[in-house]
Structures are given as C-alpha cells and as structure tokens.
Amino acid sequence: MQSERNYIFNGVEYRTVKKFFSRINSVWLIESINEAGQKFILKDFEHNKDRLKAELSGMEIFKDFSLKMIYSDSRYLIHEYVPGETLLSYFEEAEKNNTSVSNPVTLMMNFLKAMYKSAPGYILGDINFNNFIISGSNSESKIKFIDFENVKLGEIEDDLGRIISFALTYDPAFTGWKYDFVSEFIAKSEQVLKADKAKIYFYAEKEFVAMNVRRRLEIDIPEVLKKVK
C-alpha cells in the first residue's frame, strides 16, 4: 500500500490530501503544489494492471459521462475529482430526515436513463452506492458515476436488481422507508427505463444469495421478495 507522499505527473508536483476507502486499489485526493492548487483523484493500481485497463475501457464506453482524465500510465490514473457526497450518505440522510423516497428515485432514474441511452447494451456493473457522487446543490443536484472498472455488456435489470438488494441492506436494513424506496424504484424502472420487473426480481434474488455467502448473512430471501413484490 502506498503511503502519503508527493507525486510528479506531467511536470506538476502534487501532494496527497486524503486517502479514500478502497478495498483493492489506493485512491487518493491530491492537490497540485502551485498557485492553482488543483484537486484531482489519483488511483494507484500497483498490483492490478488489468483493473486499470478495465477502468479505462469502462470510461471509454461511457465517455459522455466519464471523468476528465489528466494522466495515465501502466500503474497510475489521475482524473477529475467530483466534490460532493456519495449516494450512500445522501440515501442515509434522506431516510433519517424521512425525505420522500421520490427524491432519490427521481435523481437515480434521470441519471440511469441518460447513462444507458449513451451506451446501449452496457451496464455499470458495480452499483455500490459509494460509486456515485451527488454533485451540485439541491434543485440542481446530479449524480456522477466514479467507478468504471466493472462496466460490461449486460441487461440493465442486472444493475437495477442489485441496486434494490444493496438499498435494502444498507444499515439499518429492511426498514419501511427502504421498502418504499424499492417499490417506487421498481415502478419507475418499468416506466422510465422500460425494464422488465421479473428480471429485476431475478437479479435481486441472485444478489441476496451472493450477499448471504459474502457477508455471512441469513437474509430470508423468499420473505424479502414477497414484501418487495
């Protein structure tokens, strides 16, 4: 793992400002050491060169919505920093404040519709809510996707089913508010994204099975799906 230090790319020196949580790669917020003091994201793929290629390829596929690239070589990637909060923290706050579930649903639908339209046949792959940043203030807020490593060909219902499984299991899991969110999310997926409901359930179930193994949970999948339906 990389420690805090200065880096020089394209002749400009940067210092590390903060390290983000990443299970696999090293992800840093960096700032140029000059009057500009520009902030960027540095990803170090030291032991994961194939992942770097995958990230670049995903960014190319969704190029209309990608992050502005500053530099890349076989190990490092530097791109635009998107200030704002993650979708996860926005989602958690929305529930705490008992905000209408329509707010996150509308925000996500607008984003997904534009994203899928720009690259037909492709899906995001890793829909962890920490991979989306809400930028801009209230009425102008927008979602930006920041992790293109798992972009692939697939059915949009794969992303959508996983989104509802993730949404339901964030802490506190399986609350009434989260079920309301999911029910509206599915309804709008059918309307706005022309998604197939049965397929969404199929992929959600698949994700719950994976979660029970991965997180050693005992989610009562038939019971949850009954409530969702």
Ligand X SMILES: Nc1ncnc2c1ncn2[C@@H]1O[C@H](COP(=O)(O)OP(=O)(O)O)[C@@H](O)[C@H]1O
Tell me phi and psi for residue 204, to 5 degrees: -65, -45
Stretch that binds ligand X, among 4-12, 93-101, 129-137, 170-178 (CB under 6 A): 129-137
Footprint of ligand X on 145-184 (CB under 6 A): 146-147, 149
Does position 87 interact with ligand X (CB under 6 A)? The reply is no
Options 106, 130, 141, 212; binder of ligand X; rule CB under 6 A: 130
Does position 30 interact with ligand X (CB under 6 A)? The reply is no
Options 4, 6, 13, 24; binder of ligand X; rule CB under 6 A: 24
Q: Half-sphere exposure of 30 toward its Cβ, with a 13 Å CA cutoff?
A: 29
Residue 27's binding partner, choosing from Mg ion, ligand X, none, with beta-carbon cut-off 5 to 8 A by kind?
ligand X
Options 1, 5, 8, 23; binder of ligand X; rule CB under 6 A: 23
Residue among 69, 64, 185, 43 at smallest CA distance from 122: 64
Instruction: Give whichever of 95 and 147 is closer to Mg ion, judged by the CB atom.
Output: 147
Does position 131 interact with Mg ion (CB under 5 A)? The reply is yes
Residues near 4 by Cβ (< 8 Å), separated by ≥ 6? Answer: 16, 19
Options 14, 107, 108, 131; binder of ligand X; rule CB under 6 A: 131
Residue 24's binding partner, choosing from Mg ion, ligand X, none, with beta-carbon cut-off 5 to 8 A by kind?
ligand X
Does position 25 interact with Mg ion (CB under 5 A)? The reply is no
Let me know: does 43 contact 25? Beta carbons within 8 Å: yes
Footprint of Mg ion on 135-174 (CB under 5 A): 147
- How far, in Å, CA of 212 to CA of 175, rounded? 18
Give burial (CB, 10 Å; 0-12/13-18/19+) of 89. middle
Torsion of CA 156, 150, 31, 19, to 10 degrees: 110
State in angstroms the smallest separation of the CB of 20 from Mg ion.
9
Does residue 10 come out as left (phi exceeding 0), alpha (psi in the -120 to 50 range) or beta?
left
Residue among 144, 139, 189, 135 at smallest CA distance from 164: 189
Positions in the binding site for ligand X (CB under 6 A): 20, 22-25, 27, 41, 67, 79-82, 86, 130-131, 133, 146-147, 149
